[in-house]
Structure 1
Amino acid sequence: MATYRRQQVSPYLLFFIITSSQIGVGVLGFQRIIAKYAGYDAWISVIIAGLIVHAVVWFMYKLLIAAKGDIIDAHKQLFGNIIGSTFSLVIMVYYLLLSISVLRLYIEIVQVWMFPTLATWVLATIILFLLYYIISGGFRVVVGIAFLSGIFTALLYALLFHLPHKYVHMDNILPFLDHSFKDLLLSAKQTVYTMAGFEILLMVFPFIRNGNSSQKFAQFGVAFSTLIFTLSALTTFLLLSEKQIQHVIWSRIYIAMLIHFPFLERFEYILISSFLIKVISILALSLWGTSRGLKLIFKWKQKYALILISVISLIVCQLLETRYQINAFADYTSKISLYLFYVYIPLFSIIFMLTKSRKATL
């Protein structure tokens, strides 16, 4: 699908798009989830998961280059307008579910750690209004937020990995490879939700200038995100015992309580407040992808699609009240992501390329 050049962004910005969409609230507490199967070896599982994501991104590029457009174009070319639009709609629904889960998880963190009496709809409404303003500015504005979020990530984690040495126990992670490969794979499976976000590539590809040669920036982005997740898991295991990890929902916030500077107290408050820009960048990208997808599928104006999904997000966030409901919603989103992007997209890419090559030889 043709895209006006003035709407496109430079290829190197894809690095910031990928990292900003991947590194979110999941990094604050995924250590507890991955440690269930592989214990202190779970940081190795993060690397395995990162390698799998690299492979999925490679399949995505093969598909998008062959289709010369986004995932909606690819579906229509292979399945036709009606069936193709139905498959594309499933992916748009996933983007929306991911947005809602990220938004609700962040609000829950704010409610638990900072403002226990804060109503869910109040913060959700404020964030969604801000997102509407950002997305209405166009794709380049959304990428600008992602760029700022990427710079912020580097600065934030420079502080977050400043560990209190008296609490560090190097023997925690020894011996290496104390678990079976099956356990490592099960642990890697648990990182699906944390690693999510890179799938926005399926919608942003036409907006990348010289997109066919931009894969290296996407792969660099995945590598950087994997490095952050690995360091986050590894440093958490150095500080907390396995029993502590299993009983602390947001281990990185708990560790932030141990960090003190002569000029700064309650670093966890700074961490949670600062994470808002990370949440905004993830939501801006995913809601932009959803609204644009609905625009292309149903021929709506994008602003109307954006209003609709913002209202749906607000309602669903209000319905998710308990920790069990929020966690179940995130798990449901994770399962969809697993089958949709780790199974369906590679298979669809292979079928699409085989079909294209067969038509070319006829």
Structure 2
Amino acid sequence: MHPSGPNINKNAQVSAFYIFFVIHSMQIGAGIMGIPQILFIQAKGSAWISVLLTGILLHLTVFIMVKLLQQYENADLFMIQKKLFGKWISLLLGTIYLSYLFLVVSSIILTYIEVVQVYIFPDIPNYQLSFLLIALAVYAINGGFRVAVGTSFIFFFVSSFMMLLLIKPITLIEWVHYLPIIQAPLRDILMGAYQTSYTVIGLEILLFIYPFIINKRKIAVAAHSAVFYTTFILFFVTFVSIGYFSGPQLENQIWPTLSMFKIVTSPIIERFDFLAVAFWIFIILPNIILFTWLISYGAKRLYHVKQKHALYVLAFLLYLVVSIVYDRTMIRNLSTSAGNIGFYIVFVYPWILYLLIVIKKKMQQLKGRNTP
């Protein structure tokens, strides 16, 4: 164990208990609105199996991330890369990582704006809604890391009721849609699990906030609980979508989750899908806040600038990009690129780092034995 690492003020640290809310909030965002369609096109009625395979992969990734972080006393990704690759290569890798995070948060904002334009305000321009979302994120991040974590904690409970809106679609499920259980080749089911990567992006925050955790021994339990709950939500939404829609219907539904809310009515509210889109901001906002905090904090660690200055530059760049991109195809390509890159960064890269650390330690041990 090496003692070096970022010095974090005790006033900025949080309990491992909050890791559950942070990771879950990072993973459940824009992707869950459309993931059932994407999975069904790939794996047909066996799409729910793809979600379960994704859950297994998530737990394996949490395991290796915790093992990786435990190799050092107070490490984050930037410190680990610097120890393995040196100053300049680690700077390059860190810059690539931040660029990837910027791509992700841009796609999240654009996806939500597109949903609002389709369902509620067709004529609202990107620059108005993006300004609101980015301004709220900047305001929260200026309050510090604890405020950013607090938004994920509070909005988790505010938005949890939305799953209750699927009770009505559950009563209309056609169970024959699930038969036969295996409706696609193994390759397609595995590809479905691969394509879920955009939806579960966010787990990588664990590699950055480890020094902010007070009781680090409990971080594994909190992280595993978070990905288990995320897997359950994805499985639930996908399973209900397959049972409720026919195959052709589901393939043509861009946002199946929101479409199922349309059939929910009450004497007071006729269109619950409008309400769902409005309340979805409580799911999206913690996503945006935490990703934006992550990029600004990463810029501080990499380039030794004040986080506040990095935050304002980042907010301007985000606003510029989101205001320019408006075409549905461009947004879909952006999300697809984020998911494809995210698969290797989230699920593959930690294993490479851990393997390199093990090899480096073995070489040091052999060198020590051979030294007279």
1:344 and 2:344 correspond: no
1:65–1:212 CA contact under 8 A, matched in 2: no
Distance 2:170 2:295 in 1: 44
- How far did residue 64 of structure 1 move? 1.5
- How far did residue 261 of structure 1 move? 2.6
1:139 and 2:145 correspond: yes
2:169–2:260 CA contact under 8 A, matched in 1: no
- Structure 2 counterpart of 1:43, from 48, 61, 66: 48
Residue 149 (structure 1) aligns with: 155
Distance 1:140 1:360 in 2: 40
User: Aligned AA for 1:88?
Assistant: G
1:62 and 2:67 correspond: yes
Q: Cα–Cα, structure 1 residues 164 and 59, in superposed 2: closer, same or farther, change >3 Å?
A: closer
Give the secondary-structure state (helix, strand or coil) at the position aligned to 2:110: helix
Distance 1:353 1:95 in 2: 27
- How far did residue 119 of structure 1 move? 0.6
Residue 106 (structure 1) aligns with: 112
- Structure 1 counterpart of 2:288, from 263, 277, 283: 283
Distance 2:210 2:170 in 1: 44
* Pairing of 1:175-190 with structure 2 (within 5 A): 175-190=180-195
Residue 127 (structure 2) aligns with: 121
Greater gyration radius: 2
CA deviations on 1:76-115 (whole Å, 9 max, x unpaired) are 1111111112111211111111111000100000011100
1:22 and 2:27 correspond: yes
1:45–1:185 CA contact under 8 A, matched in 2: yes
- How far did residue 164 of structure 1 move? 3.9
- How far did residue 270 of structure 1 move? 0.9
Distance 1:356 1:110 in 2: 52
Deviates more, 1:132-141 or 1:211-220: 211-220
Distance 1:34 1:239 in 2: 15
* Pairing of 1:186-201 with structure 2 (within 5 A): 186-201=191-206
Distance 1:278 1:123 in 2: 16
Residue 71 (structure 1) aligns with: 77
1:63–1:353 CA contact under 8 A, matched in 2: no
Deviates more, 1:223-232 or 1:310-319: 310-319
Give the secondary-structure state (helix, strand or coil) at the position aligned to 1:117: coil
Deviates more, 1:188-197 or 1:336-345: 336-345
Give the secondary-structure state (helix, strand or coil) at the position aligned to 2:264: coil
Q: Cα–Cα, structure 1 residues 72 and 267, in superposed 2: closer, same or farther, change >3 Å?
A: same
User: Aligned AA for 2:116?
Assistant: V
Deviates more, 1:205-214 or 1:280-289: 205-214
Residue 85 (structure 1) aligns with: 91
- How far did residue 169 of structure 1 move? 0.9
Distance 2:361 2:270 in 1: 60
Residue 261 (structure 1) aligns with: 266
Deviates more, 1:4-13 or 1:262-271: 262-271
- How far did residue 298 of structure 1 move? 0.6
Structure 2: tracts of 5 or more residues without a match: none
Distance 1:224 1:138 in 2: 27
- How far did residue 14 of structure 1 move? 0.4
- How far did residue 357 of structure 1 move? 4.8
Q: Cα–Cα, structure 1 residues 237 and 355, in superposed 2: closer, same or farther, change >3 Å?
A: same
Deviates more, 1:68-77 or 1:254-263: 254-263
TM-score by length of 1: 0.96
Distance 1:215 1:118 in 2: 43
Distance 1:6 1:359 in 2: 37
1:100–1:313 CA contact under 8 A, matched in 2: yes
User: Aligned AA for 1:93?
Assistant: S
Q: Percent identity?
A: 29
1:216 and 2:221 correspond: yes
* Pairing of 1:302-317 with structure 2 (within 5 A): 302-317=307-322
User: Aligned AA for 2:351?
Assistant: P
- Structure 2 counterpart of 1:326, from 324, 331, 336: 331
Residue 12 (structure 1) aligns with: 17
The list of structure 1 runs, each at least 4 consecutive aligned residues, that deviate by more than 6 angstroms after superposition, is none
- RMSD (Å), alpha carbons: 1.4
User: Aligned AA for 2:153?
Assistant: F
